[in-house]
Structure 1
Amino acid sequence: MARVSNGSPSPARPDRLITLTDGIFAIAMTLLALEVRVAPDLDSGQFHAALRETVPQLAAYALSFLILYIFWRDQRQILLMSAKTGGLPQHLALAVLGVIALVPFPTSLLAEYGDREPLAVAMYAATICLIDLLQLAMFATLRGRHGVRGVGEWRDTAADLGATIVVFGASVPIAFFAPQAAMWWWLALFPAKAVLGRRERLRGARRDG
C-alpha cells in the first residue's frame, strides 16, 4: 500500500464520501420518478391518451434507474476497495456525483424527444459514458495512489466499467444515423453485465476454495 509522505496531509477515509454518494444517488433516482406525470383535470379520453404518453417516460425512468443502480454499486465498490481517499481521486469522485445529479435532465430529453431527435439519444449516451469514464479514472488513481484491497476485485471492476463505456460510447455516433438502433443497442449492457458478474462469482469461488 502506498505510504503518505511526512508532512503531507493524510488522505481521508472513504466513509464520508460513501455517505455523500448514497445521498446523491438517492436524490437522482427520486428525481427520475418526478418526471413521470399526467396533467390534472382531464376528461376520460384525454386521460387515457395522456396515460399512453407516459410509456416513454416510464421506459426512460426504468432504464436510468437500473443504470444509476449499477453506477451506485460500482462507486461504493471502488471506494470500499481503497483504504483512503483524497486529492485527485476525491475530486474525480465528486465529478462523478456532479454528473449523476444531472442524469434526470438527459433522461427527460430521451423520454420526450428520443423517438425523433437523434441529439437527445446521443446526449443521454454521452452522459452515461462520461460517468463511467470518470469512475474508471477514479478507480485508476485510487489504485495507484492509495493501494487496493483485493487485486482480483479490481480486475473485475475494470471489466465491468469498460463494458458500459463500450456499449454507450459506441452508441453515440450510431444515434445520429439510427437513434432507435442506438437505444436497442443499450440493452446489450445487461447480458454483458450478467456474464461479467458470473465470471466474477466463479473467480471468487475459486479463490475461496
Structure 2
Amino acid sequence: MWKSTPAGGPERVVALADGVFAIAITLLVLDFSVPRGLDSAAYRAELRDLAPNLGAYVLSLLVLGLFWRDHRRIFGFVERVDGQVITLSLAGLGVAALVPFPTKLISEYGREPVSVAVYAAAVAALGASHLALLAVLANRPWLRGDAAPEEGFLLYGADIAASVVVFALSVPLALVIGPAAMWSWLVLVPVKALLGRWAMRARRRAVTRPARD
C-alpha cells in the first residue's frame, strides 16, 4: 500500500478539475466553422460536412460531462488529499484534456478502426483513473472522514467500472470489426439504468435504516 501523507484540503484539485473539463469541452468546438461567401448549394454542403463533427461533439460532451460529474461527486467525499489522490486526479485530468484529439479523429476519420480504438481507449483510461481514485478513498477513511456514497463504494464503483469495461472491450473489437464497434457502447444504457435502480434502492435502505434503529 502506498504511503499516505495528507497534504491539505481538496479545494485546489477540484478547482483545477473544473478548469480542465471546461477547457476540454471548449476545445471540442474549435473546428466548427463555415467559410464566408458561399452560395446556397455550397453552404448546405458545408453544413452536411459538419454533421460528423457535431455528432462527435455531442458524444464527447456527454462523456466529459458525466466524468466531470463523477469527479465532483468523488471529491464530495474528500476532506483531505494525499500524494496518491493528487497523482490519480492529475492522471485523469490529463486524459480528459486529451479527449478533444480522439474526438477529432472519429469526426474526420471515423471509418478508420484505429480512430474508434483510440477514442475508446481514452474514455476507458479516464474511467480507470476515477475508479482507482475511488478505490483509494474507500481504503483510506482518514482522507474522507465519515463521508461515503449512500449506495456504498462497491455499487458506485460498479457504475464507473461498467464504463471502463465496455469501452476497454471495444478497443480490440474496433480493430476486428471496425467502426461498428461504436454500437457496443449502447450496452451502457441498460447497464447504467439497472445499476441506477440498484443504487436507488440502496440509498432508500440507507435512509430508512437509521429511522428503524
Q: Please say if residues 10 and 81 of structure 2, whose CA atoms lie closer than 8 Å, have aligned partners that are also in contact.
A: yes
Q: Please say if residues 12 and 85 of structure 1, whose CA atoms lie closer than 8 Å, have aligned partners that are also in contact.
A: yes
What's the CA shift string for 1:22-51, capped at 9, x where partnerless? 111111111112233323332221111111
Q: Decide whether aligned partners of structure 1 residues 182 and 20 sit closer, same or farther in structure 2, where only a CA change above 3 A counts.
A: same
Tell me what 2:184 maps to.
Answer: 185
Report whether the alignment pairs 1:80 with 2:107: no
Distance 2:55 2:61 in 1: 10
Q: Please say if residues 18 and 76 of structure 1, whose CA atoms lie closer than 8 Å, have aligned partners that are also in contact.
A: yes
Tell me what 2:155 maps to.
Answer: 156
Distance 1:9 1:121 in 2: 40
Tell me what 2:205 maps to.
Answer: 206
What's the CA shift string for 1:162-195, capped at 9, x where partnerless? 1101110110011112223211111222332222
Q: Please say if residues 114 and 179 of structure 1, whose CA atoms lie closer than 8 Å, have aligned partners that are also in contact.
A: no
Tell me what 2:211 maps to.
Answer: none
Find runs of 4+ consecutive structure 1 residues off by over 6 angstroms.
none
Tell me what 1:144 maps to.
Answer: 139
Distance 2:174 2:39 in 1: 37
RMSD: 1.9
Q: Report sequence identity in percent.
A: 44
Deviates more, 1:164-173 or 1:141-150: 141-150
What is the DSSP-based 3-state SS (H/G/I as helix, E as strand, rest coil) of the residue aligned with 1:178?
Answer: helix
Distance 2:153 2:5 in 1: 26
Tell me what 1:120 maps to.
Answer: 115
Q: Please say if residues 5 and 83 of structure 2, whose CA atoms lie closer than 8 Å, have aligned partners that are also in contact.
A: no
In structure 2, list runs of 5 or more residues that go unmatched.
209-213
Tell me what 1:30 maps to.
Answer: 26
Amino acid of the structure 1 residue aligned with 2:127: D
In structure 1, list runs of 5 or more residues that go unmatched.
none
TM-score (norm 1): 0.89
Q: Decide whether aligned partners of structure 1 residues 158 and 9 sit closer, same or farther in structure 2, where only a CA change above 3 A counts.
A: closer
Deviates more, 1:36-45 or 1:127-136: 36-45
